[in-house]
Amino acid sequence: MKRSHVYPPAGAPTRIELKVVPIGNSRGVRLPKAVLDRYAIKDAVVLEAREEGLLLRGKKDKRLNWDDTFKDMARAREEWKDLDATVADGLDKEPW
């Protein structure tokens, strides 16, 4: 049987349980190769503590997060006076 290198495979749960194992004097988890390939994880990951739990992501993952977005907005001194007009345009009611 050929294994899929895409994680998660179609129809598979998106949640997996990983065992915490001894690694030298520390403890850690081993990520399946399919997960490493799917998320392009090479040599490092970033662990973020969040209110709902821990988030593990690839170091090169450049997805936006609210903290960085707000800092960028403040640094750029973005003007938001047209926001009300934009929100009132009704686009949110259009099917995507």
- For residue range 18-33, list pLDDT tens digits in order: 999 999 999 999 998 8
Structural tokens at position 86: 């934009």
Question: Is 0.75 surpassed by the pTM of this model?
Answer: no
The pLDDT, as a whole number, for residue 16 is 83
Counted residue by residue, the chain has a size of 96
Cα diameter, the chain: 59
- Cβ–Cβ under 8 Å, residues 45 and 58: yes
| Mean pLDDT, the chain, integer | 78
- Cβ–Cβ under 8 Å, residues 9 and 16: no
